[in-house]
Chain A
């Protein structure tokens, strides 16, 4: 079990002219399933291919073509469900959502309205200040993505790229348990983190592989608690849905704007109209996309081309037994086994690649020191170069070597930074660098003593000053270090200087 206990964060309140308002937020996160082939066709899902090159006859909605479920996508949805501690439905079914658009060649999206593959689950969203929100997951269903319409390439024509058509998405639907813009972003971040650990979604928001529809409403303090007690939505305000957000920052901006817009309406004595809105990041505002009256009637009905999807409990158990350690467990273990601080453990487990790198670096040595080196030195250096951990020029075992060299007193922390820089820039082995460059720390007190004696003898005036003002002893330490090329053990030098000067 997790040994992590948190208090719930306070809901975000916005002060209005007539009193305080609270925010209530629910999210529908669309995560592209990490698989080589699409949900119902064998076409590739590779990003960035030539337009309309990853398109099968099925994706193009050609006459007589039929969908066949990709088992890999089902496994990924199950894996994600298990990662979110959710109910796995052994029987689920696909429905058609009908609407016309040129980037939807079939004229319908195959989705799972009535019987989703994953039922209720939960996610713990830490807020970084010691608080955390437990967000309930209502369901996860599998569905097809649409293609891309391009309207700005020609003044008279629109273009359609069907590469994304039919790619598998998992729609992860939360309950309205999120109470502020920061929580919403943190929730998306936590889902992203978990799915990256699971390998079920790469979480690349820029490429649109992770997008969110955000439902926002506002209510008076106390109303939400009434909802919690009764699960009766009438205690909550009318919601608006902001579509297709693909940036954590925009999600926060949009929620904040939308909440304030709704509060202004309500305080003006007007009603919030349930509708779909779009966020304009340039103007920082949301705009009505279509009202409830204009809303599509999607005419959902069971897809007659697909039989109900039935999976075996044994198959689910196999997937469960192969699940990797998830972020919450990993963080707890890092704190427990390596003695890391909560903060360091959070930083290192934020991303699965970071965590794996750290563990490789810490292997067989001081975990806490290794964590310092990974977080402070390596992450800083990578950031400077605009690199990620996956293309770090220095490997985890080499960071481990540096840590071991420090721990064995072979080099000082200061020298270690030089060794790191050389290893980072020239792809060399730290032990070899220390050997070749003669950077090994001098711990032989005889050699250090000789150097101290030499400096004292050569600087009688300084000796007198130091005796009057002991703080000046540091000047001698510096001179000795300089004379030994920085290799002398600083503590040994310090002790000797203090003794010889009789301080």
Chain B
């Protein structure tokens, strides 16, 4: 029997399970205990130990029978945005109070079919809108990392902040995340883990509470690149129930991890060198380029000329889609419904229910989205944004057409910041997405890899952006970067 089961990776646990060195039940118990002790992180918002134990038992039987996929017996945390049958699935919103879906999302179905174990549901920003996890109805999750001996609470990032905190604090082997503008990659970078946003259409959106349908994509948040490859394979694949899911075969991404990137062309976009970017980020980016060059890649300067329009474009398109996607939360069929006074009717029911059920950030985005779609403004905002979006997409296509295999950028403009610091300034908060939104707008795969620590001892990450549908190639570049960076730091346990 191994000593500290929670320090394993998916790959390590898989091998140990198959060798009989550990059982899924033991593994699960270790994580359930770790979760119990980590209340201060507020990462898990719904605990499902009964489900976990039953799934672990079934996994052990499969492993014993020799019929065990890679994810069999792997304890996971599931972002609250995923609908999980019979389990609260609230997108961290009050408006979904008491909602327990009668269906299971495609992603969790596939993971569970492969034998994965659900430990519980993870905290997040309400409806995935936020970059600090502070818009959650459950209160924010907390970053397990601290600045040296300074006990100031830091954000785990967002929106997949609970997922990030849980993986970094070893409360699960890996977690699901979703990424609309950076919601996997930014929190992954803030807590020193790997976060992969696949190509749009690679992973089914069915059963995931929608934020911005043309941008949303689920992906793995894992302890390393290999785990991301293993977990993505289980999550991905064509789904007849999602018209935007691609009918493409799912390759063995793990098999792509050769570490050999000799001759690969890595693009460095000059537009990502932002005014006022901390020198530590700049230095990290330089180091990343050197690591990849040392590994045999060719580093080339590239231009993505429409980058500066990406953030405003994103903050038109995402709220527009959100304003429509969130119309269904009306108090009629499920979730929260406001109490009405005598004589009040359906209009008051909508107004009060939505006023009580949605938090400030969600309301702000619904209002922005409603505005940009309204008659007289549609062309100036939404239609203009769609056109710019296609130019941003074309920027990437041009670069890939020139033979670039992947693009290296910083993952975030800073390390994890203090909770409460940016929540009052939405624009400041939105700037967190500056390096990540372009990837969503263009539908490309992107991965955040922990690469170093800042002076305060907080993790920093770099982002690699790949060609559409070439997650294997992208993961291999990330694997090479990961090996060169040799990032092994863990947060000192304080919780």
Query: What residues make up the interface of A, taking CB atoms closer than 8 Å to B?
Result: 57, 60-69, 96, 98, 100-102, 105-108, 158, 160, 297, 299-301, 304-307
| Stretch with Cβ within 8 A of A (4 or more), from B372-380, B391-399, B402-410 | B372-380
A-B pairs, top 3 by smallest CB distance, nearest first, are: A107-B327, A304-B213, A299-B373
* B165 interface hit (Cβ, 8 Å): no
When distances are taken between beta carbons in the complex, the residues of chain A under 8 Å from B374 are: 297, 299
Contact B332 A105 (CB under 8 A): yes
Contact B350 A100 (CB under 8 A): yes
* B320 interface hit (Cβ, 8 Å): yes
Shortest Cβ distance from B448 into chain A, in angstroms?
25
* Of A67, A106, A107, A158, the contact of B243 (CB 8 Å cutoff): A67
Shortest Cβ distance from A250 into chain B, in angstroms?
27
- A305 touching B209 in the complex, CB below 8 Å, given contacts A62-B334, A299-B370: no
When distances are taken between beta carbons in the complex, the residues of chain A under 8 Å from B103 are: 57, 62, 64
When distances are taken between beta carbons in the complex, the residues of chain A under 8 Å from B206 are: 64-66
Contact A61 B328 (CB under 8 A): yes
Among residues 201 to 215 in chain B, which have CB atoms less than 8 Å away from a CB atom of chain A?
205-210, 212-214
A-B contact count (CB 8 A): 100
B206: nearest residue on chain A (CB-CB)?
A: A66
* B321 interface hit (Cβ, 8 Å): yes
* Of B240, B326, B375, the contact of A68 (CB 8 Å cutoff): B240
* Of A69, A96, A304, the contact of B212 (CB 8 Å cutoff): A304
The count of residues in chain B whose C-beta lies closer than 8 Å to any C-beta of chain A is 43
Query: What residues make up the interface of B, taking CB atoms closer than 8 Å to A?
Result: 82-83, 89, 91, 96, 99, 101-103, 105, 205-210, 212-214, 240-244, 320-321, 323-324, 326-328, 330, 332-334, 346, 350, 370, 373-375, 378, 382
Contact A100 B327 (CB under 8 A): yes
Shortest Cβ distance from B192 into chain A, in angstroms?
30
Q: In whole angstroms, what is the CA distance A107 to B243 when docked?
A: 20
Query: What are 14 contact pairs spanning A and B, CB under 8 A?
Result: A60-B333, A62-B103, A62-B334, A63-B91, A65-B206, A66-B241, A96-B324, A98-B323, A102-B346, A105-B328, A297-B375, A301-B373, A305-B210, A306-B243
When distances are taken between beta carbons in the complex, the residues of chain B under 8 Å from A158 are: 346
Contact B208 A299 (CB under 8 A): no
* Of B89, B214, B330, B334, the contact of A100 (CB 8 Å cutoff): B330
B335: nearest residue on chain A (CB-CB)?
A: A63
Q: In whole angstroms, what is the CA distance A307 to B242 when docked?
A: 10
A67: nearest residue on chain B (CB-CB)?
A: B243
Contact B327 A98 (CB under 8 A): yes
Q: In whole angstroms, what is the CA distance A420 to B241 when docked?
A: 57
Q: In whole angstroms, what is the CA distance A366 to B383 when docked?
A: 65
Q: In whole angstroms, what is the CA distance A61 to B99 when docked?
A: 13
Q: In whole angstroms, what is the CA distance A301 to B389 when docked?
A: 15
Shortest Cβ distance from B257 into chain A, in angstroms?
32
Shortest Cβ distance from A93 into chain B, in angstroms?
12
Shortest Cβ distance from B134 into chain A, in angstroms?
22
When distances are taken between beta carbons in the complex, the residues of chain B under 8 Å from A65 are: 206-207
A305: nearest residue on chain B (CB-CB)?
A: B213
Q: In whole angstroms, what is the CA distance A64 to B373 when docked?
A: 22
When distances are taken between beta carbons in the complex, the residues of chain A under 8 Å from B328 are: 61-63, 105-107
Contact B105 A66 (CB under 8 A): no
When distances are taken between beta carbons in the complex, the residues of chain A under 8 Å from B105 are: 64
Q: In whole angstroms, what is the CA distance A436 to B200 when docked?
A: 78
When distances are taken between beta carbons in the complex, the residues of chain B under 8 Å from A301 are: 320-321, 324, 373, 378, 382
When distances are taken between beta carbons in the complex, the residues of chain A under 8 Å from B240 are: 68
Shortest Cβ distance from B103 into chain A, in angstroms?
6
Q: In whole angstroms, what is the CA distance A101 to B330 when docked?
A: 9
When distances are taken between beta carbons in the complex, the residues of chain B under 8 Å from A297 are: 374-375
When distances are taken between beta carbons in the complex, the residues of chain B under 8 Å from A300 are: 373, 378
- A64 touching B209 in the complex, CB below 8 Å, given contacts A108-B327, A304-B321: yes
